[in-house]
Structure 1
Amino acid sequence: MTHFSFDIVGFDLDGTFIDTSGDLTAAVNETLAFAGRPILTVEQVKPMIGGGAKHMLTLGLEATGGCEPDEFRALYKRMLGYYEAHISIHSHPYPGAMEVLDRFDMMGVKAAIVTNKFESFAEKLLGELGLRDRFATLIGGDTMGPGLSKPHRAPIDEMIRRCSADGSGTRAAFIGDSIYDIMAAKNAEIPAVAVSFGFMMQPVEELGADAVIDGYAELIPALERLGGRRQD
């Protein structure tokens, strides 16, 4: 019998499995408007997203006049509160993403989310979209503790541990849209696939991924090329 080469496939969340740009932009803009700043377009905000919420707001404020450190804390807290309350209004899976999960289910492949988003926010987003039970586990940016989010390998190692009986003999791959995703996979010594449609902070070709896909119809063929097939 022929089996798919990977037992576990992990996904980054924002910009990889879910297009969250609409809701993140709304949260940034609500905060900028409160601070008396001009608002930004979705296309302006997208490249700001990959480094996390604090980085995103920092860049948004820098693009609209800068911000004193003592002002930033209150604005950051406001943005997080607004985002949590409006987390799933415009967010949705990328085209073809759900079909990939269906294929994985048929093949017995476990899917997981490993994100630098706060775990509680990721749980809330997937729960409101009705997608939480499609993933064997979810690991957030604060799950493993300070300093142990992507690009550290710890979240990837924990994904494998949670999704397998003992972690031995298990093959995993990771899908993402940022240098943090690709570095985390490489640090954990598993194949990395980059998506070209995410919230790119740099050209996708510069990420150093083992494969690049332009849409989810290309993911399973790309993984098959990376892992080959094994016969049992």
Structure 2
Amino acid sequence: MRAPPFSIVGFDLDGTLVDTVPDLAGAVNHVLAQAGRAPLDEDTVRGLVGGGTRHMLELALAKTGGADELLLERLLPELLSFYEAHIADASRPFPGAGEALRALRAEGVRLAVVTNKIGRLSRRLLEAVDLLDLVDTVIGGDEVERQKPDSAPLTAMVERLGGGRAAFVGDSIYDMAAARAAALPAVAVSFGYRDRPAEALGADALIDSFAELLPALEKL
């Protein structure tokens, strides 16, 4: 296999590199209980992920009785605190994620994680699941002026890693829209978190496992 025709490949985090729903659901249900709300199952929480922690909580409240700004502001710090304490109790990399990162690094590709998750929590999670040392940079949602689906995080990724042809790998409409806005080829993973069929995300390539990633990049 020839090296992928990219000098930079970026990845989303939740639902792309790491299956985080068990711990995210635990944190969401912790604060829902504090608000006297019914818990949400993991499948429901899976559909709330992608727009950042605040957005996830806002959607969870809306599904369980309605959200108001005062309640959101009261519960968000508690959710973040609980989640940080349990960030990798059950979260694990998707099968083949580490191997794909190592294969790309072996070909000299510079790697980034670009996520709407808070940067500090993103690095903590990646370190806990032994992926942090495999990427060159992490860009959190609180570390750029505008989050995905805006192009700003992906533009920052390319600039931070020295420029060159780049591609992005993600699982949600936020990821695909950001890639389009930044004029980058996009690969969608079918196993991630999304609110629509994977085929409807508008990706340039769709993969069912990380074993398919390098061949997909080769074809872009």
Superposition TM-score, scaled by structure 2 size: 0.95
Moved more, 124-133 or 134-143: 124-133
Helix, strand or coil for the counterpart of 2:169? strand
Q: How does 1:113-192 map to 2 (within 5 A)?
A: 113-145=113-145, 148-164=146-162, 167=163, 170-192=164-186
Change (3 A) 1:33 1:107: same
Residues 1:83 and 2:69 are matched in the alignment: no
Is contact 1:50-1:201 (8 Å) kept?
no
Shift of 1:26: 0.3
Larger Rg: 1
Q: Could you tell me which amino acid in structure 2 is paired with residue 197 of structure 1?
A: F
Moved more, 19-28 or 123-132: 123-132
Helix, strand or coil for the counterpart of 2:48? helix
Is contact 1:175-1:192 (8 Å) kept?
yes
Cα distance between partner residues in 1 of 2:209 and 2:121: 25
Runs of 4+ in 1 over 6 A off after TM superposition: none
Cα distance between partner residues in 2 of 1:198 and 1:139: 20
Helix, strand or coil for the counterpart of 1:138? strand
Is contact 2:10-2:169 (8 Å) kept?
yes
Q: Percent identity?
A: 50
Q: CA RMSD in A?
A: 1.5
Cα distance between partner residues in 2 of 1:136 and 1:51: 23
Cα distance between partner residues in 1 of 2:10 and 2:56: 24
Cα distance between partner residues in 1 of 2:179 and 2:126: 23
Instruction: Name the residue aligned to 1:229.
Output: none
Consecutive unaligned residues of structure 2, counting only runs of 5 or more, are: none
Is contact 2:4-2:214 (8 Å) kept?
no
Q: Could you tell me which amino acid in structure 2 is paired with residue 19 of structure 1?
A: D
Superposition TM-score, scaled by structure 1 size: 0.90
Residues 1:215 and 2:213 are matched in the alignment: no
